Amino acid sequence: MNRIDRLTAILIQLQTKRVVKAEEIADRFEISLRTVYRDVKALMEAGVPIGSEAGKGYFIVDGYHLPPVMFTQDEASSMLLAGKLVDKMADKSVRAAYESAILKVKAVLNESEKDHLENLQSHIEVFLRSKYEVRDPDEFPDHFMTEIQRAVAKKEVLRIEYVSNQEELTHREVEPIGLYYYSMSWHLIGWCRLRNGYRDFRSDRIKNLVNTKENFDSRNILSLQEYFQSMFQSNQSLVKTVVVFEKSALHGRPIYGSISQTDLGDKIRVEYMMDNLEYMAQWLVAFGSKVKVEEPPQLKVILRELAEELFLHYTSELPIHSSKP
């Protein structure tokens, strides 16, 4: 990236947050802090009103906005792909907000970029059977994700009607700390005042939700990362599971529910935290020899037993052929 493009990109980055640290700019563009200082100085000399706070970072003075910036084809394509994922993995409120946002983005594209998106539109699909497609839309309203995001950002208490795993309708007041996507569902994580502890609420089991606008004290509230770390440490039933898939066996499909993934070239190492190794083994059997379990040893034993059971089941049905003429 040449310096002119970098200066423009830095200016855009400065408008994305109230205060941007010099280290963030350096990390993004892989440049030294000295270079960041020179670039910011160049922007200021060009008339951009940039302020700074010692120990905090840089900020754009209120009232200044960069004129509309044209997007590259790659940037426009990435937004189209993101829209396909949003359509399958988000609720109605988020889909509506994204559709409105993407229309504004398309409005500033030049004609060739608009044609590029139009031609690409029908050639990208996400084949993910979403829970929003299969459930009764009247049973659980489909418009809470946007309100949950507001409450998380503003630290506001949510009052919800929640259907538990035992199909019991409960009324909760929740101090939300974040949203997390796993096991094909979005989950609201927060401090439940009814249970007096942190709880995991599957978003598609929320029957009603009201933002009380009451702010809660966040001084003693865990971050989302701290919550999951403490959950793994306290839940002794969770077992770290490491498997290596051949990419050819995945057929380009994403892997859900993992806590980490490492690209090994034609293979991928995936880590999970599992509470049911039998269920995991039954799923892995479908991949045959194109998956290898690294740990734990007991998962290997379960897979071996499953393979032996299948072998005996089907060999018992084979006809017996005599070797005599």
Q: What is the pLDDT of residue 137?
A: 47
Q: What is the pLDDT along the chain (325 residues), one digit of tens a residue?
A: 788 888 988 888 888 788 999 999 999 999 999 999 999 999 999 888 999 888 889 998 877 766 656 677 788 888 888 888 888 888 888 888 888 888 777 777 777 777 888 888 878 887 765 544 544 545 556 778 899 999 998 999 999 999 887 788 999 999 998 888 876 778 898 999 998 888 889 888 899 999 999 998 876 677 767 776 776 666 556 788 999 999 888 877 667 667 778 889 899 998 887 878 888 898 899 898 999 999 999 999 999 999 988 888 888 766 655 555 5
CA distance 151 to 145: 10
Asked if 171 and 217 sit in the same domain, the reply is yes
Q: What is the pLDDT of residue 315?
A: 81
Q: Provide the Cα torsion 13, 16, 21, 25; round to 10°.
A: -20
Any domain includes 213: yes
Last residue of a domain, one of 234, 266, 289: 234
Asked if 149 and 230 sit in the same domain, the reply is yes
CA distance 157 to 155: 7
C-alpha atoms less than 13 angstroms from C-alpha of 137 in its C-beta half-sphere: 7
The pTM is what? 0.55
Q: What is the pLDDT of residue 234?
A: 60
Any domain includes 323: no
Asked if 285 and 261 sit in the same domain, the reply is yes
Q: What is the pLDDT of residue 237?
A: 65
Q: What is the CATH number of the domain that holds 167?
A: 2.30.30
Asked if 243 and 230 sit in the same domain, the reply is no
Q: What is the CATH number of the domain that holds 258?
A: 3.30.70
Are 157 and 194 spatial neighbours (Cβ–Cβ below 8 Å)? no
Any domain includes 140: no
Any domain includes 190: yes
Number of domains in the chain: 4
CA distance 52 to 58: 4
* Structural domain of 295: 239-315
Any domain includes 217: yes
Asked if 200 and 153 sit in the same domain, the reply is yes
Are 128 and 89 spatial neighbours (Cβ–Cβ below 8 Å)? yes
Asked if 225 and 156 sit in the same domain, the reply is yes
Asked if 201 and 222 sit in the same domain, the reply is yes
Q: What is the CATH number of the domain that holds 18?
A: 1.10.10.10
Any domain includes 83: yes
Any domain includes 324: no
